[in-house]
Each structure stands twice: as C-alpha cells, then as structure tokens.
A and B are shown apart, each in its own frame.
Chain A
Amino acid sequence: MTETDRQRALNTAELIDETAAAAPVTSELPPEDPVQSGAPPRSQWRDIWRQFRSHRGAMIALILFVSILLFVSVGPLIWTVDPTYVDIRARNSGFTPAHPFGTDQLGRDILARLMAGGRVSIAVGLTAMLIAIFLGSLIGVLSGYFRRLDAPLMRLTELFLALPLLPLLLLMVTLFREPLSQSFGPAMGIFILIVSAIGATSWMQSARIVRGDVLGLKEREFILAAKSIGTPPTRMILRHVLPNVLSPIMVAATLGIATAIITESALSFLGLGFPPDFPTWGRLLFDAVDQMVLYPSRVILPGIFISMTVLCVNYIGDGLRDAMDPRIRGR
C-alpha cells in the first residue's frame, strides 16, 4: 500500500489527528557537532588560543611581557622607593641591597626609576597604538566600504606614507612642547604631544591592510544578504564588517606597540622626549650615555628593558598572525 492509498483510507478526523500531533520525539537529539561529539564546543577564539599556545616563542614572549607589565605596575607597590628622591650621599652606588640596580649621579634609585620609566614607556606605546589603530581602521573601513571615499582617502594615505616621519616627529615635538606643557602641565603636555604625534604618523599601514580586507569582504554572500534585508551602513560596518577584519587589526596593533615604544625612546634619546625629572626608558638611557664609560650598567639596563619589551611584542605579533591565519590553523 502506497502512502497516498494509506492516507486516502484514513478518514478526515484521523488525518487531522495524525498531522497535528507533535513530531515523534526521539530519546536523543542528534549531536550538534557530529565529528567531535563529546569534546567541548569549539569557538574561533579558542582555536586561535590553541594555535597560539603551540607557538613556543610567542608563549615565552607572552609570559615575559606579562612579567614586564607586572614589574612596572605592581613593582612600585613592593619597591616603594621614590624614583625622584635625590640622595646625594648615595650617588653612583653600585649594586647593593639598598639599591639593587645602583643609583644614578644624583643618588636616585635605578630600580625605582626603571619601574616608573617603564610605566610611562608602555603607557605611551599602548596609547599611541590605540590612536593609530583607531585612525587606521576608521580610514581603512571607510575607504574600503564606501567607494566614493576610496580614492581621496587612499591618496591621503599615500601622502602620509611619503612624509619623512622621524624629522617631522622631531619638529612637532620641539615646536609644540612649550604651549602644550603650559596648558596641561609639563608631564601631561608632553605625553599628549608624543602620543598624538606618534599615533597620527603611524596609522597608514593598518589602514591599507584593513581596506584590502574590507574590499574582499564586500564581495561575500553574507554581506549581500545583510544588505538585502536593509541593514543600514553603520550597523553593517559594526556588526558584519569590523568583526571580520579584527584579526589583521589585532596583529597590526601588537606590532604598533613595538614601533611606538621604539619611537618614543628614540625621541627621548635625542633629548626631545619627556622632561628630565620624568623618567622613561629612553630618557634613562639618554641620561646615562654621558657616563657610560664609568657606569655601563646604567645604559644597558634600560636598553635591555626596551629591547626585551619590543622583542616580546614582536614575537606575540608573530604568534598572533600565525594563529589567526585560518590556512595554518587547521594543522
């Protein structure tokens, strides 16, 4: 008896009964993930983390970077010596229990100064990176998404790429140091100046990367689908485009921290950075260069901190890039 015959044989009431009844409930739902049933659910971030952990260099770098962060943030709570306290009788002391890394020519404790300096250096790196990434992704997304903005914004990017950055940074810092320190105080004024100068001159690479990715994304079906149900451009960018270009942005952000720290210390090294009583790693190195023959450790310690931080950040960026590349991640 075929299905049609069977249905014909049923009377109307029975037919209604049969079709209106709830679907037969099986005791067990089919596994959501037929291949890996039983394993914890997989998410993109967990995958990235797993891949990241397998990159040995990046893991070591992450641990080191976190310890440097702890050193500059928690360290001053444990080692409570004031980095600006001048103890002229204890000047130029070597490595003693009272001053584990010695003191400088004015008797200020080097360990405390390294902590305070690192805090400023890393704060400059992070803030400048945030500004650069914000500008870069804004310009990248706008020029990738809106065709009308593409040409002018890319011309602008090329113009910025052609600027001689280090000379311009030197110029900006020397020229606007005075007015800004008058209105925001010496330390804060220079901080704002350096951070915005570095941020405003290092967004170009990330803008280019983001634009390229957005251009590729725009051709995908899910964007078309979102567009066809009438998603307005703002939500489109925030919900659909930005999350998908997050990985190149994150890699660019990590590498951006490294460049910002190096640039800041280079400015300080040229004597155009923070004021002398406001230590940063670059400034400490610069101050110690005059006496490097007698006290080489004072030059080498801040230099090692700068290099270590930058090396760690670069390795983390490398690991992130590998972890976020879906072509490698499967392996």
Chain B
Amino acid sequence: MLTFTIRRLLLAIPTLIFISLVIFLLLEASPGDPLGDVPLTVPPEVKEKMREALGLGQAWYIRYVLWLKQFFWVEPLYWFDQAFGTGFSDGMQRIISFQSRSPVFDVIAQRVPQTLIVVGMSYLVGVMIAIPIGILSAYKQYSWFDQLGTFVSMIGFSMPTFFTGVVLIIIFGVKLQWFPSVYDTTLEVRDWDSFLAQVRQMVMPVAVLALYNAAQISRFMRASMLDNLGQDYVRTARAKGLGERTVVLKHVLRNSLIPVVTVIALGLPTVFGGAIITEQVFKVNGLGQLLISAIHANDIPMVLTLTFIFAILIVTFTLIADILYGVLDPRIRYD
C-alpha cells in the first residue's frame, strides 16, 4: 500500500508538469496579445520595453521554467515567510498578473473563500441528500419512490446548471422575492441578521449545485446498494436473526459506501469546474469568475496559474480516491 502510494505520488509529478506544459504551450500558441489594448500611437521601442517589463522578451522555454520556479519555489517560500516571519523570498519575483499588476496568488486568496463556501456547502448538501435517496431507492427497487428518484435524478443531471440557476432566480428571486438573486460578497457575518442574510443568499447557488451533484451520486449509491443487497452475507445476516435495520444500515451500507466514497472524491474537482458556470449565473466573484475575466483580458499568468490549480485538484483527488479505495476495501491489492 505504501509503495503504491509513493509510486502514484511520483507518477503525479510528471503528469502535472506535462499538463502545465500543455496549458503553457496552448497559451503560447494563441494569437492574443496582452499589449493589444495599448494605443497605436505608442512607438514600437516603447512597446518593446513594455513587453520586456511583462517578461515576454525571452524564449518560451525560459519563461516556462521561470514560471515553474515561481510556482513551486518562490510562492511556497513567500507563504512560509508570511507564516514564520522569515526572509527567504526577499528579492524574488512572484507571479504577477498582467491585469491588476499584483501577485496572482494574492488575488486568488481573496477569491477562494467565496468559491469554497458555495461549492463545499453544495457538495456537502448534495451528498447528504444523495445517500439516503440511494439507500431507499435500492432497498425498495422498482417501487414508486425508486421510479420517482430515477426520474428526478435523470432530470437533475440533464438540466444544465445555468438553466436551473436562471429558473430558480426567476421563481424565487423575482416572482416570490424570497432570496436575493445576486450573491453579495461584501457581506460580512457579524451578527445574527447578517448571518441570516448570508444563508439566504447562499440558498440558491447551493441548491443548484447540490441538485446536480445529488443526482449523480444517488445513482451510484443505488447501484452499489443493489450490488450488495443480493450478496450471500446479507442472507447470512438475516438468517442470524439480525433486524432489518442492522442488516441494511450496518452490513450493506458500509460495504456499498466503498465505491461511492471514491466517486465522491473523484467528483470534487469537477465541481470546481462546474462552479464556473454557477458563479457566473449568481455573480459570485469566486475562482470561476476570476478565470473568465482573466481569459477575456488575456492575462496569461493568471489563466495559467488558475488552470494549473484546477489540474492539481484533479490529480490530487484522483490520488486520494485510489488510496481511499485501497484503505476502505482490504480485498483490493495494488501490487
């Protein structure tokens, strides 16, 4: 198990480097020019100077290695300095956004909480809804509850999140006026009233994402429960005289959760991707919104760093899912 983990960790490094190279080259091959908005009256020499100042003067491989160094060496050092008050990163250049001329990671750090609260909450709610539904619809297979659950989850992952979001805004934001349709990120939770306001504005984005996640996870939960309900050990447990509750909620549920847990881990990074759309609908200024505005503004360092962070999330959670699978199910052997 340990060797497997180490091997997978080592394999993740070339994967990540390759992905960063792909993203970098994609950006490099693009015809977009970060100086495209500079007026034509600016003389070419000055433009060349500006280009140098943005670090665009060198060959692409030098810039790529430089970016790698900044990402993996300078930034961690900087955060280390921040945490312990040391001065290792003095004089080192951090990754600078073309758009705001401030370090990319500072901007990201401002945006992360919004995304994490909304996305994390919605994933949690989605899982909490999905697991009981999956259990019940597998236990009563082909009952009306199961049929309804299948239908709702089919609808859940057929409706794109931007459509459900807009419909919710029309119904609850405009017609009923229950919830605000725009997410106010300047809101600070200080007392009970502001807490309520925060909850109210989170209801809709969380509901949209939770519905989408719950639809997928409940299908997995149902399939996994069905696989286990027919097993011999279930019959044995019943024959021993265990109550139906113990059989289903202890014996079957624990075994069925093994594949579902890995699915949940695997799905988490894609939720961040999907949140790009939901954030756009509800005007949450999180990471997704940051990425889109950076793409529009040709802000190469920001786009590169953000996309790479998404890639790191995917690789990490795939790794976690693989390891979890081995830990939870001793029958799985990685040799």
Contact = CB atoms under 8 A, between A and B. Distances in A.
Interface of A: 57, 158-159, 161-168, 170-172, 174-176, 178-179, 258, 262, 265-266, 269-270, 272, 285, 289, 292-293, 296, 299-300, 303, 306-307, 310-311, 314-315, 318
A307 B295 contact: no
B157 interface: yes
B209 to A, nearest CB: 14
A307 B158 CA distance: 6
15 contacts: A159-B18, A162-B314, A164-B313, A164-B314, A166-B274, A167-B306, A168-B307, A171-B23, A174-B295, A175-B29, A179-B31, A270-B276, A303-B160, A310-B158, A311-B159
A311 B166 contact: no
B128 interface: no
B252 interface: no
Contacts of B166: 285, 289, 292, 299, 303
B88 interface: no
A311 B155 contact: yes
A159 B16 CA distance: 9
For the complex of A and B, list the 10 residue pairs with the smallest distance between their C-beta atoms, beginning with the closest.
A175-B30, A164-B310, A303-B163, A311-B158, A310-B158, A166-B273, A307-B159, A167-B307, A269-B162, A296-B170
Given A170-B291, A266-B160, A178 B23 contact: no
Given A175-B29, A292-B169, 18 more contacts: A57-B151, A162-B314, A163-B314, A166-B274, A167-B291, A175-B30, A262-B160, A265-B162, A269-B160, A269-B280, A270-B280, A292-B166, A292-B170, A300-B170, A303-B167, A306-B160, A306-B163, A307-B158
Contact of A162 (B19, B29, B159, B162): B19
Contacts of A165: 273
Interface string B299-321: 00001001100110111001000
A129 to B, nearest CB: 16
Contacts of A171: 23, 26-27, 30, 295, 303, 307
Contact of B158 (A158, A258, A269, A289): A258
B277 interface: yes
Contact of A315 (B23, B154, B274, B307): B154
B315 A162 contact: yes
B13 interface: no
Nearest to A158: B15
A258 B314 CA distance: 23
Contacts of A262: 160
Contact of A300 (B155, B160, B167): B167
B296 interface: yes
B158 A314 contact: yes
B22 interface: yes
A175 B169 contact: no
Contacts of A258: 158
A170 B295 contact: yes
Nearest to A156: B18
A184 to B, nearest CB: 15
A262 B162 CA distance: 10
Nearest to B32: A175
Nearest to B155: A311
A285 B26 contact: no
B292 interface: yes
A166 B158 contact: no
Interface string B44-59: 0000000000000000
Given A159-B18, A159-B19, A162-B318, A167 B29 contact: no
A255 B291 CA distance: 28
A228 B313 CA distance: 48
Nearest to A173: B295
B132 to A, nearest CB: 23
A315 B274 CA distance: 23
Contacts of A300: 167, 170
Contact of B162 (A166, A172, A266, A318): A266
Contacts of B16: 162
Given A158-B15, A174-B32, A175-B31, A285 B170 contact: no
Given A164-B314, A296-B170, A285 B307 contact: no
A273 to B, nearest CB: 12
Contacts of B242: none
A285 B170 CA distance: 13
B30 A314 contact: no
A168 B167 contact: no
A159 B15 contact: yes
Given A171-B26, A175-B32, A266 B170 contact: no
B174 interface: yes
A281 B318 CA distance: 34
Given A170-B292, A175-B32, A163 B19 contact: yes
A178 B311 CA distance: 27
A138 to B, nearest CB: 21
A243 to B, nearest CB: 28
B154 A311 contact: yes
Contacts of B280: 269-270
Nearest to B151: A57
Nearest to A178: B31
B156 to A, nearest CB: 10
Interface string B1-38: 00000000000000110110011001101111000000
B175 to A, nearest CB: 8
Q: Which of A167, A170, A175, A272 gathers most chain B CB within 10 Å?
A: A167
A269 B81 CA distance: 42
A285 B306 contact: no
Contact of B307 (A159, A164, A176): A164
Contacts of B162: 265-266, 269, 285
A164 B20 CA distance: 11
